[in-house]
Structure 1
Amino acid sequence: MTTITVYGSTGMVGSDITREAAARGHRVIGVSRQESPDNRVDGVTYVTGNLQDTADVVAKAADTDVLVISVPGPRDGSSVQPVIDAHAALVPALAGQDVRVFVVGGAGATLTADGTMLVDTPDFPEAYAAEARSFAEVLDLYRAAPASLDWTMLAPAPEIGPGAPAESYVLGDDHPAGDSVTTGTFARAALDEIETPAHRRTRFTVADA
């Protein structure tokens, strides 16, 4: 049984990852700002925590096999820099630790066929631009991480929303694997990767088939 600790366990994506991990019989620890969130999943142990508290994240990582980070930057116009800074501090702090870091990325930082980031294409929504660029910076941090850091980033298709898993899914590398994906499909792909690692120290993408 794998111990999986999920930061952002009550968010749109993180809650489905938490639910999928628990359904598969893993020991799951959900981390959020509230110890008793409204959308609790049966069988999950909930604790409080903040991704920006590096020492606490490292302490929690010492008691887990996989550390899932599903914490996007804010979309309310406030700075996304605290999330970037949190990852910048965690990369060296977790290097060499016996834990796998699984980061939920963003579609806006994936690439079109000609290598342009989606966030830099003409029709990309401005409201999501800062968040998308923050994911690009976070990815750069992990790509430059010491070889002793075991990490993976999974990014969704350009359109992601709540929903049950599709019958099947498709994977891509740095390019979108398709147009849309449900959070249920995303969670299933995340757990498949956690259980059977195939994308170590790289980013990949998922879409509904």
Structure 2
Amino acid sequence: MSRITVVGGTGYAGSAVVAEAATRGHHVTAFSRSLPAEPLPGVTYVQGDATDEAALAAAVAGSDAVVAALAPRGPLEGSFRDVYRTLGRLADAEGVPLYLVGGFSSLRPAPGAPRFVEDLTHVPAALQPEVLAGAALVVEDLPATPETLDWVFVSPAMQFGSFAPGERLGRYRVGDDVAVDPAGGAISGADYALGLVDLVEQGGHHRAHVNLGY
């Protein structure tokens, strides 16, 4: 089994990935600001600050894969992209793939069409900086990393988050940077985690933007 480190492992997406990976028998380390109220058996929880490079490096060391599930809000509002640049550099130095929990807005409605993020008129002004920061990872930052960094940016369907947890259906569809459901469908946290851990295990995508939906 693989050693998987999930940075942001107690958040909505991160905790779902931790649970899915642990259920499959992987050795999982969950790195986050806070410890969960109900830790999962067999998971190693590490409390730390993602802006602390030494703490991140210690969490990444010895991993076979790193999953990044941080959000560009709260304490990371102004440092989100810098933290991800650091995490990419650490994963590259460790020689392990980096899987990033992305957002819907970085996808396209059709091949060659502008990304949804290019028109945010429907998004409340207060949320636009968060959307832009998340999309900038795959639009600007990740393509600029050294070719030796193997990254996969995994966008969910539009209706994804703790506000719409959904149920585990045990299925999903996977696409590239074109939304599998451009009309704004949903995917549960459990099924998103199912798809992401499948991607980690299969290892078939490299320096790629993919998306998961029903």
SS of the equivalent of 2:122 reads coil
- Paired with 2:90 and 2:40, the residues of 1 have a C-alpha distance of 30
**TM-score, normalised with respect to structure 2:** 0.87
CA drift at 1:82:
0.8
Contact 2:170 2:194 in 1 (8 A): no
How many residue pairs align between the two structures?
205
Partner of 1:203: 209
Partner of 1:91: 88
Aligned CA-pair RMSD = 1.9
Partner of 1:71: 70
Instruction: Give, as a single letter, the amino acid of the residue that structure 1 aligns with 2:116.
Output: M
Partner of 2:154: 154
Moved over 6 A (4+): none
Partner of 2:199: 193
Contact 2:91 2:97 in 1 (8 A): no
Q: List runs of 5+ in structure 2 lacking aligned partners.
A: none
Q: List runs of 5+ in structure 1 lacking aligned partners.
A: none
Identity of aligned residues (%): 30
- Paired with 1:142 and 1:176, the residues of 2 have a C-alpha distance of 19
2:177 to 161, 174, 182: 174
Q: Deviations over 1:130-181 (max 9, x none)?
A: 1111112222211111011111110100111313322421111112212111
- Paired with 1:167 and 1:87, the residues of 2 have a C-alpha distance of 30
In the TM superposition, 1:111-122 aligns within 5 A as 111-113=108-110, 114-118=113-117, 120-122=119-121
2:104 to 107, 117, 129: 107
Contact 1:108 1:118 in 2 (8 A): yes
- Higher deviation after alignment, 115-124 or 154-163: 115-124
Contact 1:143 1:202 in 2 (8 A): no
Partner of 1:164: 167
- Paired with 1:93 and 1:37, the residues of 2 have a C-alpha distance of 25
CA drift at 1:12:
0.9
Task: Evaluate the alpha carbon distance shift between residue 94 and residue 195 of structure 1 in structure 2; reply closer, same or farther with a 3 A threshold.
Answer: closer
Contact 2:66 2:91 in 1 (8 A): no
CA drift at 1:125:
3.8
CA drift at 1:51:
1.9
Partner of 2:13: 13
Q: Which has the higher strand share?
A: 1
**TM-score, normalised with respect to structure 1:** 0.89
Instruction: Give, as a single letter, the amino acid of the residue that structure 2 aligns with 1:86.
Output: V
- Paired with 1:136 and 1:174, the residues of 2 have a C-alpha distance of 12
Instruction: Give, as a single letter, the amino acid of the residue that structure 2 aligns with 1:69.
Output: A
Contact 2:8 2:70 in 1 (8 A): yes
